[in-house]
Structure 1
Amino acid sequence: MITAALVDDATVIRSALAGMLQQIEVVAAVSSVEELIASGVSADVVVLDLHLVNGRQPEARQGVAAVQALVEAGHQVCVYSQEERRWVLAACIAAGARGVVSKAEPMAAAEAAFLEVAGGESVIPPPVVGLIEVLVRRRSLTLVGERQRQVLSGRARGLTYAEMAQQMHLSESTLRGYWHELIASVSEHLKQTAPADIERALGLAPGDLLDAWPGG
């Protein structure tokens, strides 16, 4: 069975989530990244809340720093949060997260996303895909082929692989391959790009991304 470690500072969320997952065995449920890393627990996916600071753990790493720490420790990370700012979610992808899932999603959809990340897939919400599309269109991201652009456009508009396969006359597995290549290129590019460059491409004010972007 697929295994997961949960990192969330809310005891109720940890307990409830562990009991609601049907196809995933929870092998650890902790309140901080530091606790999980210290435990040495290995899991197929780490389900991570972004907001972990509270009165009991004021020094806990959270946000992009938490993602980076887990990735550096060798974990596959799926962010599971109420955070909706697409710049912050894109920063998590830049920091190495393989997936981003909203806590507003139905449990079945959330679990399906956790399973995809555990299996090496990338799960990115449409608002973040749309942001990536803007960066590509404005030539801030240039290492993208024509087929990858078509897949990116389809994903940004919520099309399924089946719908895109019908439109593009390609197999779903081929389209998934394009998507994997695209996300790998985008993640690597974002890791190496200065926040100021992204801000200019998106029309943001100088310094808007400094609190969120990896290495900012």
Structure 2
Amino acid sequence: MGGPRFALVDDATALRASLGLLLPGLTFVASHANVECLLAERPEADVVILDLHLANVGQPQASQGPTAIRRITEAGYRVCCYTQEERRFVLAACLAAGATGVISKAATLEEAEAGFLAVADGELVVPPSVAGILEVLVRRGSLTVVSPRQRDVLAGRARGLTYAEMSRTLFLSESTLRGYWLELTQTVSRYLQVTSPGDIEQALGLGPGDLLDVWPEVSRG
């Protein structure tokens, strides 16, 4: 007891019934088929594990994607997306909407549990494909105020390296590297949440309007 508390939002009945059993080291306090039920109950959870695709025949109007993320974060929860979605710009849009983590349902249970706990600690958890987008933004000067060491860690994450692997090549402890990543995530989160899709498109060399279907509305505070 005393550890982080998790709530699950997923339209798959089997996953809602089984995830807590599959991850006995985590404390699950609630599970819901949609965001609307979660917000109606307001469980005392620290992190909401969220499936991105929730609308189906039984709940066609269910909030999903960036809209769902925004609604949950505005209610005061951290969000970790747990999804089969693989499109990197859709996953990056989840971070822009306020998610703290994105974890693939294809990950091992050990990887998923470690990722959920990292999100509970405030660490930005992203797949290498999304870290690659962030690396391009840094390299092209769009995402600034990033130190050389933070760039090194970002480059390593974009290539799928573990902290142990980076530690051997950068000659720094794993705890030091985690510290650089945590500092970088604060900059990344602020940048993505206040940057328009047009600015992102220009920085990445995309065509105008390429991100409009997936990118959330810009929050100007």
| TM-score, length of structure 1 as denominator length | 0.95
Aligned residue for 1:168?
A: 170
Shift of 1:165: 2.2
Write the deviation string for residues 126-178 of structure 1: whole angstroms up to 9, x where unpaired.
11001111111111212211111111111111222222223222222221111
Size of the alignment, in residue pairs?
216
Identity %, equivalent residues: 60
- Deviation by residue 1:29-48 (Cα, 9 ceiling, x = unmatched): 10111111110202121110
In structure 1, stretches of 5+ residues that fail to align are none
Which residue of structure 2 aligns with residue 129 of structure 1? 131
Q: Distance in 2 between the 1:182 and 1:204 partners? A: 24
Q: Structure 2: which 5+ runs fail to align?
A: none
Given candidates 11, 15, 19, the residue that maps to 2:13 is: 11
Structure 1 stretch 46-55 or stretch 155-164: which is displaced more? 155-164
Give the secondary structure class of the aligned counterpart of 1:77: strand
2:68 aligned residue:
66
Query: Structure 1: which 4+ aligned runs deviate by more than 4 Å?
Result: none
Give SS of 1:101's match.
Answer: strand
Q: Does 1:144 align with 2:185?
A: no
1:196 Cα deviation after fit: 0.8
Residues 58-115 of structure 1 deviation map (CA, whole Å, 9 limit, x = unaligned): 2111000111111111101110000101101111111111111001111221112111
Cα distance between partner residues in 2 of 1:68 and 1:88: 14
Q: Which one is further off, 47-56 or 136-145?
A: 136-145
For 2:204, give the aligned amino acid.
Answer: L
Distance 1:86 1:184 in 2: 20
Rounded to whole Å, the distance in 1 between the matches of 2:195 and 2:122 is 24
**What TM-score do the two structures reach when normalised by structure 2?**
0.93
Q: Cα RMSD (Å) of the superposition?
A: 1.3
